[in-house]
C-alpha cells in the first residue's frame, strides 16, 4: 500500500532524528566539557525544531487522514505504527514551534546548572532556571489540553491515559497500606550487621568491572551497548543495536549494584525488541510505567532476593574480598533489604520507595496548578519527608536537588516509578504461575530462562500494544496494586 510506505518512510526518518537527539543528550550527561554547554543548548534547540517540523508536517497529517478507516487488511504492526505516529502528530501539532525550540534550549541550559547547584548544595543557584522550566511546563499543559487538571496533560506524555484523579486514589490507597507497614517493619527489624554500615571504601575501577560482569550475567549485550558514568544513572536508546546505560559510583555505597540492575532491566527490554521494528517508533518500550516494571523487577524482585545472591554473592566477595570476606550471605541480604527510611529516593527500601514518589507527585501537582511556587520547594520538601517518612533532610543536595528530572523538564515522569513497582510484582506473580519452579530457577542462577519469558511476553513487542493492553495480555487483568502489597507482606528477606 503506497500510502503506508509513505508513513513508514517518514516514521523511519523521525526515529533516526530522535536517536541523534538522544545521542546529544547522552553526550551532555557523560562527556560534554563544561564550557560547551551553551553550544549544546543551541544544538538541542535547532534539532528539536527540525523534529517538531517533521512530526507536524501537514503532509504527514494528510497521510494519516488517508489512513483513517484502514485497518483490517493491515498487519498488527502496521496498525500500531499508525496509532503511535498519529498520537505523536496530534500531541505535537498542539505545541508551537517556537515553544518547542525555547523549551529544548531552556532544559539544556538547566542541566549543568542543576549539576552545579547539587554539587555546591545550593538550591538558590538552580531556582531561577527551575522557575522558568515550571512556567513553560504549565504552558505545555495548556497547549496540550486537559479535561480536569493541567497535570493530566503532562502525565499522559509518559503513561498514556494516566490522570491525576487516578493517582490521587492510587496513592491514597498505597499510603494507607504502606505507612503502617513501614512502621511495623522498622519495629520488627533485626539489628543490621554494623560492618555493613561502614564498609571499607571500594575502588571505582573494581566497582565498574563488577557491574559490567553483573550486567553480562543478566543478559545485557555489550556488543550492542556500553556502560558509562553520569551524575544520575540512566538508560538511553540511540538505535536498535545501541542501547546504553550509565551508573554512578560512591566508594562507600552499594547503590551502584542496584543501579546496574535497574538500568540493566531497562536495557534488556530494549535490546530484546523484535528486529522487525528497527528504525521505527515501535522500537521502544511502550510506556515508562511498563519500562519501569522491568527495571524494578530486575533490581528488586530478582536482585534483592536471597535466592539470587546464593549464586552471585561469592562473585561479589571475589571482586571485593576486603569488604565482604567476613560478612555472611544472610547478613548481606538482610542489609540490602533493610527497611530504613532515608532521604534518597534511588536508595530507598521497597516499603518506603513509593512514599518518595508520592511526595514528588504532590509537589508537581501543586507546581503545575500554581498552588506551589519553586521558591516553596525546599521547605515543603523537608516538611513532607518528615511527615511521610519521619526523615529529617540535612541539605538541598540530599533533598530537593537530588533528582535530575526537573532540570529535564520531565514533569509527570515520577508517578511512572510507582506504576512500575506495582506492575513488576504483578508480572512476577504471572511468571511464577508459568514457572512453578521459579524459586529454583533463581537459586540456580537460570536468569536466561526468566529473560526468555519476559522477551516472549513483553520485550519482543516493543510498542506494538498500548500499555494497558500489554498488561492484560501478560497478566490477564488490569493493573492491580494488591500483588505489590502482598509481595511486601510476604517477602522473606525482610525478616533476615
pLDDT, residue 169, reads: 96
Active site residue 263: yes
pLDDT digits (tens, 9 = 90+) for 173-192: 999 999 999 999 888 777 77
- Alpha-carbon gap, residue 61 to 53, rounded angstroms: 12
pLDDT mean over 349-373:
97
Place of cell 565482604: 324
Q: Of the residues 263, 292, 350, 364, which is catalytic?
A: 263
Split at pLDDT 50, 70, 90, the class of 196 is: confident
- Alpha-carbon gap, residue 102 to 49, rounded angstroms: 9
**The dihedral sign for the CA sequence 186, 430, 304, 436:** positive
Split at pLDDT 50, 70, 90, the class of 197 is: confident
Q: Give all strands (DSSP E) within 261-382, no chain letters.
A: none
Q: Give all strands (DSSP E) within 78-196, no chain letters.
A: none
Contacts of 77 (CB under 8 A, 6+ apart): 276, 277, 282, 464
Q: Bridge partners of 246?
A: 228
Closest CA to 344 of 361, 359, 334: 359
- Alpha-carbon gap, residue 266 to 227, rounded angstroms: 13
Chain centroid offset of residue 454 CA:
18
Split at pLDDT 50, 70, 90, the class of 364 is: very high
Domain-wise residue ranges, the chain: 2-145, 164-495
User: Do 253 and 241 form a contact (C-beta atoms < 8 A)?
Assistant: no
Contacts of 13 (CB under 8 A, 6+ apart): 54
Chain centroid offset of residue 464 CA:
20
pLDDT mean over 363-376:
98
pLDDT digits (tens, 9 = 90+) for 411-444: 999 999 999 999 999 999 999 999 999 999 999 9
What is the pTM (predicted TM-score) of this model?
0.94
pLDDT digits (tens, 9 = 90+) for 435-461: 999 999 999 999 999 999 999 999 999
pLDDT digits (tens, 9 = 90+) for 19-47: 999 999 999 999 999 899 999 999 999 99
- Alpha-carbon gap, residue 134 to 368, rounded angstroms: 7
pLDDT mean over 110-114:
96
Backbone phi, psi, residue 29, to 5°: -85, -15
Instruction: Assess whether pLDDT exceeds 90 at residue 202.
Output: yes
The angle, 0 to 180 degrees and rounded to 10, between the axes of the packed helices 150-158 and 353-369 is 130
The domain defined by 164-495 carries CATH number 3.30.450.90: no
**Which cell numbers in the block locate residue 260?**
546496574
**What is the pLDDT of the chain when averaged over all its residues?**
96
pLDDT digits (tens, 9 = 90+) for 230-263: 999 999 999 999 999 999 999 999 999 999 999 9
pLDDT, residue 476, reads: 97
Instruction: Assess whether pLDDT exceeds 70 at residue 496.
Output: no
Least confident of 87-101, 179-193, 480-494: 179-193
Split at pLDDT 50, 70, 90, the class of 289 is: very high
Amino acid at each position: 500500500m503506497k500510502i503506508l510506505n509513505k508513513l513508514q518512510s517518514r516514521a523511519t526518518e523521525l526515529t533516526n532524528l530522535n536517536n541523534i537527539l538522544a545521542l546529544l543528550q547522552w553526550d551532555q550527561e557523560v562527556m560534554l566539557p563544561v564550557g560547551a554547554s551553551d553550544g549544546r543548548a543551541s544544538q538541542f534547540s535547532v534539532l528539536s525544531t527540525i523534529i517538531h517540523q517533521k512530526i507536524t508536517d501537514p503532509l504527514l497529517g494528510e497521510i494519516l487522514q488517508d489512513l483513517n478507516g484502514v485497518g483490517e487488511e493491515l498487519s498488527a504492526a502496521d496498525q500500531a505504527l499508525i496509532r503511535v505516529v498519529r498520537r505523536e502528530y496530534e500531541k505535537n501539532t498542539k505545541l508551537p514551534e517556537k515553544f518547542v525550540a525555547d523549551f529544548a534550549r531552556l532544559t539544556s541550559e538547566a542541566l549543568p546548572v542543576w549539576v552545579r547547584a547539587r554539587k555546591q548544595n545550593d538550591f538558590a543557584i538552580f531556582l531561577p532556571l527551575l522557575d522558568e522550566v515550571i512556567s513553560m511546563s504549565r504552558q505545555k499543559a495548556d497547549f496540550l489540553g486537559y479535561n480536569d487538571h493541567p497535570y493530566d496533560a503532562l502525565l499522559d506524555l509518559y503513561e498514556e491515559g494516566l490522570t491525576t484523579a487516578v493517582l490521587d486514589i492510587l496513592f491514597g490507597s498505597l499510603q494507607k497500606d504502606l505507612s503502617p507497614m513501614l512502621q511495623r517493619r522498622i519495629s520488627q527489624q533485626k539489628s543490621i550487621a554494623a560492618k555493613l554500615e561502614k564498609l571499607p571504601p571500594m575502588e571505582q575501577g573494581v566497582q565498574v568491572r563488577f557491574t559490567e560482569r553483573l550486567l553480562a550475567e543478566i543478559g545485557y549485550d555489550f556488543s550492542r551497548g556500553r556502560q558509562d558514568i553520569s551524575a544520575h544513572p540512566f538508560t538511553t536508546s540511540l538505535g536498535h543495536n545501541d542501547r546504553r546505560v550509565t551508573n554512578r559510583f560512591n566508594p562507600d555505597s552499594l547503590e551502584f549494584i542496584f543501579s546496574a540492575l535497574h538500568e540493566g532491566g531497562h536495557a534488556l527490554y530494549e535490546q530484546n525488541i523484535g528486529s522487525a521494528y528497527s528504525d521505527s517508533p515501535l522500537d521502544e518500550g511502550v510506556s515508562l510505567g511498563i519500562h519501569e516494571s522491568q527495571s524494578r523487577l530486575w533490581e528488586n524482585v530478582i536482585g534483592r532476593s536471597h535466592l539470587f545472591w546464593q549464586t552471585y554473592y561469592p562473585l561479589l566477595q571475589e571482586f571485593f574480598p576486603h569488604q565482604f570476606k567476613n560478612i555472611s550471605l544472610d547478613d548481606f541480604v538482610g542489609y540490602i533489604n533493610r527497611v530504613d527510611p532515608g532521604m534518597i529516593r534511588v536508595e530507598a527500601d521497597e516499603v518506603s520507595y513509593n512514599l518518595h514518589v508520592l511526595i514528588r507527585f504532590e509537589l508537581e501537582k501543586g507546581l503545575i496548578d500554581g498552588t506551589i511556587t519553586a521558591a516553596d520547594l525546599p521547605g515543603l520538601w523537608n516538611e513532607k519527608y518528615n511527615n511521610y517518612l519521619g526523615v529529617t533532610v540535612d541539605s538541598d543536595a540530599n533533598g530537593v536537588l537530588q533528582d535530575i528530572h526537573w532540570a529535564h523538564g520531565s514533569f509527570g515522569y515520577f508517578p511512572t516509578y510507582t506504576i512500575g513497582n506495582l506492575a513488576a510484582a504483578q508480572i512476577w506473580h504471572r511468571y511464577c504461575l508459568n514457572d512453578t519452579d521459579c524459586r529454583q530457577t533463581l537459586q540456580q542462577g537460570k536468569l536466561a530462562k526468566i529473560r526468555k519469558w519476559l522477551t516472549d511476553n513483553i520485550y519482543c513487542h516493543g510498542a506494538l500494544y498500548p500499555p494497558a493492553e500489554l498488561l492484560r495480555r501478560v497478566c490477564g487483568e488490569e493493573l492491580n496494586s494488591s500483588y505489590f502489597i502482598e509481595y511486601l507482606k510476604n517477602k522473606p528477606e525482610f525478616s533476615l
